[in-house]
Amino acid sequence: MALQNIGAGNRDDAFYRYKMPKMITKIEGRGNGIKTNVVNMVDIAKALARPASYTTKYFGCELGAQSRFDEKTGVSLVNGAHDTAKLAGLLENFIKKYVQCYGCGNPETEIIITKTQLINLKCAACG
């Protein structure tokens, strides 16, 4: 399984500590019922320390398409035919917004949702 660095700023560092698997997609169905299956979404989400449903819903919201993640089977589906490069770009945006620390860029963060529905990141390195 090919691994890539988490975050676009660390793309060239061969010894970067934080890695995730490269995204593998598969287009399923034909015509009006075409769907894109992100085959290894569970592995990607585990590397990012986020639930796989978060990334799947993010793809659906950004693409304006319905999306769903099945917890039992680990299947991540987004309606429509979307290529891997487009979804990988959206995953980089997700990482910048909801995984990497805004201060130090470290992906060791914990997501905290406040009572007023605000999303905050708590960094393990800089606090």
**pLDDT tens digits for range 66-98:** 999 999 999 999 999 999 999 999 999 999 999
Alpha helix ranges (H) inside the chain: 41-48, 52-63, 84-98
In this predicted structure, the answer to whether residue 8 has a pLDDT above a threshold of 80 is no
pLDDT computed for residue 55 by the predictor: 94
Q: Determine whether domain 3-123 maps to CATH 3.30.30.170.
A: yes
Nearest to 24 by CA among 6, 5, 2, 9: 2
Domain locations in the chain as residue ranges: 3-123
Q: Model pTM?
A: 0.88
Which residue did the predictor score with more confidence, 9 or 84?
84
pLDDT computed for residue 12 by the predictor: 75
List pLDDT tens digits, range 14-63.
Answer: 787 888 899 999 999 988 889 999 999 999 999 999 999 999 999 999 99
